[in-house]
Amino acid sequence: MNVSTPDRCLLCHKTKQIRPAGFRQGYKQVGRDPLSLSWWECGACSGWFVSPVPTPEEIEGHCNRANYNDPSQARAIAQGKDLLQRRVLSQLASWVRPGPLLDVGCSFGEFLLAARAEGWAPSGFEPYGPAAREAAQKGFDVRCEWVLEKAGFPDKYFSAVTAIDSFCFAWDPYRTLQLFHSLLQPGGVLAMRVTNKHAILNLARFLSLSGERRDARLTAILKGQFHSIGANSLGEILRGIGFDQLEIEPFATTAQWNTLSLGTRTAYSVAQGLYKGTFGRVNLSPGVLIFAQKES
Ligand SMILES: [Zn+2]
């Protein structure tokens, strides 16, 4: 299959220096062969992204087989994320007074419950129907669309927008960040937890020849995400969009330390040493928290 080069980078919207990333992602589908997705690399932001992105039907076909979207798994996973959610909420409160909050990719609404308990007035956005319905049953305004633009939330309304492990599934990430910015009041804060896999993906690509084995290795690391970029480059993009205060924190684990695998603990520990040793310039922590405040 021949795929034409995208006319712009989906991460920074620059139009030059886009080249093939040198691998394809196997994207599993229920009852069908996996799709083979083309990945591209941008010379301007060094980000990687999928183009063309799968159709909504194909994404739904993939979602349905992922156990994080299985209701019976929701509670266990949410408990693992409880510490992280509390950290996000306590730090958000140091940036901005609790007010209207939009959780993008709210899944079954566990974070909405935690936010409400801390004095926020949360709403949710969730493209996956069964999760959105369950979150709405908890008494929240939860809107279910394939794209955030269609959800009809008012501009300049929210004190906070949160995206905890959901930004990597946005299929036009630059446009999504612009939307987060326009949904926020002046002085409002975007809080995102993102996986920070760009360095490890680069290393895995460097250590393998192009072909099926490289594709399989990178697919396993990507876990269904549609783009990957270094944390500091993402910070630059946020500044360009109009977030003038920014904090990128390492060490955003999604489970209690003693329940993480040895490999994950090692990765976090090594990254933490590098982060401190370079005064924050090198941030390879597998999970990071980003707080970005819209100009007042
Ligand atoms: Zn770019």
How far is the centre of ligand 1, averaged over its atoms, from the C-alpha of 105 (Å)?
24
How far is the centre of ligand 1, averaged over its atoms, from the C-alpha of 67 (Å)?
31
How far is the centre of ligand 1, averaged over its atoms, from the C-alpha of 170 (Å)?
15
The per-residue pLDDT for range 35-88, each reduced to its tens digit, is: 999 999 999 999 999 999 998 888 888 865 444 555 666 666 656 678 889 989
The per-residue pLDDT for range 268-295, each reduced to its tens digit, is: 777 777 777 777 766 666 688 999 999 9
How far is the centre of ligand 1, averaged over its atoms, from the C-alpha of 88 (Å)?
28
Residue 35, SS3 per DSSP: strand
Quickly tell me which residue has 């935690």 as its tokens. 114
The neighbouring-strand residues paired with 263 are none
Position 76 scores a pLDDT of: 61
In this prediction the pTM is: 0.87
The per-residue pLDDT for range 183-242, each reduced to its tens digit, is: 999 999 999 999 888 888 988 899 999 999 999 999 988 888 999 999 899 999 999 999
The span from the CA of 156 to the CA of 169, in Å, is 24
Which domains, and CATH codes, for the chain? 18-65+198-225 (no CATH), 69-195+229-294 (3.40.50.150)
How far is the centre of ligand 1, averaged over its atoms, from the C-alpha of 25 (Å)?
19
